[in-house]
Amino acid sequence: MLNKLAASELVLNDDGSVYHLNLLPEDIADKIILVGDPDRVPKVSQYFDKVEIKKNKREFYTHTGTLRGERVTVMSTGIGTENIDIVMNELDALVNIDLKNKELKSDHKTLELFRMGTCGSVNPDVQVDNMLVTQNVVGFDGLMHFYQDYHCENEFSKNFIAKFPYEKIKPMLYFAEWAEDMGNYFADAKYHGNTATFPGFYAPQGRQLRLKALDDKFLETLNDLGITNFEMETSAIYAFSKLLGHKAITVNNVIANRRRGEFSADHHASEKSLIEWVLDRIIK
């Protein structure tokens, strides 16, 4: 790879900020909370002692400030791994590329990334309104196949691939793991599990409105293969973190149990408890 990046590869705004996130290197902390919903950003930053930076572009809203004296950033990613492709590449560029000269830096900076999201459960025993930490993830979105150097194989992935019955979908699967030491932040989570990340909310997650999903037994099959829950971002967050040398962990609040047909009775209260629970653990 060339050390100097062309203007078409690393696109910057007029003020030198990265193109989609609209941020300069000094706008982010080393601890970054990633949420899907832009409306969740102020709900998180309201707990900060002080918010120093507020910037946004499209679905990417960023607030940086201090909490209990420590610098922290909260950023929305919008929905889906295609946005994570942008978020992870541009966050990494902010710390590991000299934006002025468009050159890769020789010293590497590691970011700590915390996805604070919501998910649905495919395990009938998981109770809604509880925190679930992702250890292994299977990406159904196919994104990481576009990156030459990405590979992750472990006991979970080998078992999953061996038993996965849907041949049409199999080629797009990829796997990723949490940064194990980040698990120390959330050792007391009610659930630790394996997550499926999907490139859609409806049929990919077994939902049928007017259109039939692939298989009525899809959720049951996933659960039999060791999946606990699903959402739409973690596979790419974990995979990019491994490739780019960052550390990531996902905590999702379970708002739906799909096998039991249950949805959180008060998802606003559930979101508030997720925010307080995560903040209390990542910043002491």
Residues that bind ligand URA (CB under 6 A): 118-120, 201, 205, 231-232, 255-256
What are phi and psi for residue 6, nearest 5 degrees?
A: -70, 155
Which of the listed partners (ligand URA, ligand R1P, none) does 205 bind, with a CB threshold of 5 to 8 Å by partner kind? ligand URA
Residues 6 or more apart whose Cβ sits within 8 Å of residue 39:
none
Residue appearing with tokens 């150097």: 149
Please compute, for residue 15, the number of CA atoms within 13 A of its CA located in the half-sphere on the CB side.
Answer: 10
Nearest distance in Å: CB 204, ligand URA: 9
Closest to ligand R1P by CB, 223 or 235: 235
Nearest distance in Å: CB 281, ligand URA: 21
> Distances in Å between the alpha carbon of 19 and those of 91, 127, 230, 246, 266?
11, 40, 30, 21, 37
**CA gap 265, 256 in Å, rounded:** 10
**Binding residues for ligand R1P, per CB under 6 A?**
35-37, 79, 117-118, 201, 231-233
Which of the listed partners (ligand R1P, ligand URA, none) does 256 bind, with a CB threshold of 5 to 8 Å by partner kind? ligand URA
Nearest distance in Å: CB 64, ligand URA: 26
Closest to ligand URA by CB, 138 or 255: 255
Nearest distance in Å: CB 82, ligand R1P: 11
Identify the CA nearest to 169 among candidates 147, 192, 130, 200: 200
Closest to ligand URA by CB, 32 or 232: 232
Nearest distance in Å: CB 116, ligand R1P: 7
Tell me the residue type at 201: F
